[in-house]
Each structure stands twice: as structure tokens, then as C-alpha cells.
Amino acid sequence: TGTTETLSGELCVKGPTVFIEYYNKPSATASAFDDDGYFRTGDVAEYDPQYNSYQILGRLSADIIKCGGHKLSGLHIERVLLEHPMLEEAVVLGVPDETYGERVGLICRLKTNKRVDDDDDDDYNQGNLTLNELHEWCLPRMAKYKIPTLLKVMENDIPKNAMGKVSKKQLVHLFIGE
């Protein structure tokens, strides 16, 4: 299109290898395809014209956080946060908020046996992570509006479904009421 700005939106596909309908489910088929016959994948992608490339940002239903007019990829934020020396697991999700639409929430599990005198130069409380410490660590690594403003540290594994996947929609309840 001649644009020089990065564009994002739902990834839609069409072609000879894409299925044409859900068997005996006309209403599901109608909602899965747009008016031009493109299949709506439910994934959000970003197009970068500088490199003529696409990047999948996440699932429209769970991985995209709409915060203060920004569309954020929870998966991208998770990848950055997993570089934090204290984090073993990280799940980033959108938590409903009247002012911003959604706030960025982090549910995490800390690494065990992590000590302040390990090889990392970062100085953190042993076995503890505060929202303020997380904020300070994130500032040079991501835009301020992407930094989690809600934090839940789990003592055990982050709950997963029978398939071993995290259900972000079910974890939102951990923040409701804050």
C-alpha cells in the first residue's frame, strides 16, 4: 500500500489450501469468514513495511491487551519479562479497567534458589519481587505503557488446563477486586 508505518490487525487468509466451511455448521462458517471469503484466524499480526514482513502478536481473544488506546501483545511482553533474572514463569494478561480498558497484569513464579549474589548485576530482594522493582527493571527494556501495573507472584506453578496450557481468561479472577 506504499505505507511506511507498521500496521497491525487480525490475520485473515484465503487460498486453495484453506478450508471452505465447517461441516454442517453454517453459522460457524459465516462468522469465521469475512465478506470477501477470507478466513479469520483469530490471530493478530503486525506488518513491517521496512522489512516486508509479518509477525504474529498473539491470539485476538487472549493475547492482545487493549490499554489506553494501545494494542499490546501479551506474548511479546512475556518474552521480555522472561529475561528477568528472578522469573521462572510469566503470564501477561489484560485485566478489565474502567479508565484504560485493560491494565497489564503479570502472574509469575520466581526461580528457586535465586540469590542476590548470583552472576547477575541486578540487585533484587532475595525470594521476593515487588511491582516497583519490576517497573525499574522494565523501564530500559520496553515502553512504559507496556510495563505491568498489576503483579501476582505464585508460590507454585501457574495453573494450567488439561492440555498443559495457561487459560488467561480464567486467571483474570486473580486480579479482580484490586
Q: Does domain 64-174 have CATH number 3.40.50.11810?
A: no
Q: What distance in Å separates the CA atoms of residue 141 and residue 95, rounded to the nearest whole number?
A: 22
Check residue 125 and give its pLDDT: 44
The cell for 18 is: 484453506
Same CATH fold assignment for domains 7-59 and 64-174: no
Give the β-pairing of 150-154 and 101-110: parallel
Cβ atoms 108, 90 nearer than 8 A: yes
So what's the pLDDT on residue 176? 84
Neighbours of 51 (CB within 10 A): 8
What pLDDT is attached to residue 127? 58
Q: What is the pTM of this model?
A: 0.70
Distance CA 175, CA 106 (A): 10
Domain ranges of the chain: 7-59, 64-174
* CA 59 and chain centroid, separation: 8
Amino acid at site 147: I
Residue 77 has pLDDT above 60, yes or no: yes
pLDDT over 50 (residue 40) = yes
List pLDDT tens digits, range 88-113: 999 999 999 999 999 999 999 999 85
pLDDT digits (tens, 9 = 90+) for 15-29: 999 999 999 999 999
Banded pLDDT at 6 (limits 50, 70, 90):
confident
* pLDDT tens sequence across 128-138: 899 999 999 99
**Beta carbons within 8 Å of 44's beta carbon, 6+ residues apart:** 8, 9, 10, 11, 56, 57, 58, 59, 60, 63, 64, 71, 73
Mean pLDDT value across the chain: 86
pLDDT at 3: 66
Look up the CATH architecture of domain 7-59: Roll (2.30)
* Tens-digit pLDDT profile for residues 43-74: 888 888 889 999 888 777 778 899 998 989 99
